[in-house]
Amino acid sequence: MQLLEENSFGFVVDTKPDLIPACILEDFLYLGSQDSVNVDNINKYNITHILSIGIPSPPIEVDLVKTFIECLDLPETDLNQEILPLACEFMDEARQVGGRVLVHCNAGVSRSASLVIGYLIIKCDYDFQDAYNLVKSKRECIQPNAGFLKQLKDLKR
């Protein structure tokens, strides 16, 4: 197992505000950075659920269903053991009650994008390329790390 260097964060460093979440599935699934978790967006997009990956959501004074899943943005992080199943369950529960979920990590580039792609593959019957292309078309900056991409490509084979 590869160890983190002392100056490594285990995630993409977010260097500029990224305030607008991308709507991935109409009226249900949104993807963004931690900057997009704010009262204005929650009200504008009627967000009812927040799924925070690897970094807790910023404190906000709004009544939401929230969950946090620990996850380092490292190629050797195993998404399939607990991370992806927990994320899919949370997103599916939001969908079943007619909610809207905002999935975020620090920059909204690797971890959260990977889990949204995984959700599309597992719960919405997309193949990898179609799921990746959809998410990329809605949020151009996504760039899951190489280990996450390999795991996502191996789903449902």
Q: Mutual orientation of helices 111-124 and 146-153 as an angle, nearest 10°?
A: 0
Q: How much is the pLDDT for 109?
A: 95
Q: How much is the pLDDT for 131?
A: 98
Verify whether residue 88 is a known catalytic residue.
no
Q: Residues 62-77: what's their mean pLDDT? A: 94
Instruction: Please provide the average confidence, as pLDDT, over all residues in the chain.
Output: 90
Q: Residues 45-74: what's their mean pLDDT? A: 93
φ, ψ dihedrals at 24, nearest 5°: -90, -50
Q: Is a pLDDT exceeding 60 seen at residue 14?
A: no
Dihedral Cα 137, 27, 30, 142, nearest 10 deg: -10
Percent of the chain with pLDDT over 90: 80
d(CA 157, CA 96): 26
Give the pTM.
0.88
Q: Is a pLDDT exceeding 50 seen at residue 152?
A: yes
- What pLDDT digit, counting tens, does each position of 80-108 carry? 989 999 999 999 999 999 999 999 999 99
**Better pLDDT: 37 or 3:** 37
Handedness of CA 11, 16, 22, 27 (dihedral sign): positive
Band the pLDDT of 19: cuts 50, 70, 90.
confident
- Show the tokens assigned to 136: 């990329």
Annotate 89-119 with three-state secondary structure: HHHHHHHHCCCCEEEECCCCCCHHHHHHHHH
DSSP 35: G
Catalytic residue, chosen from 23, 71, 105, 124, is: 105
The answer to whether 136 and 116 have CB atoms below 8 angstroms apart is no
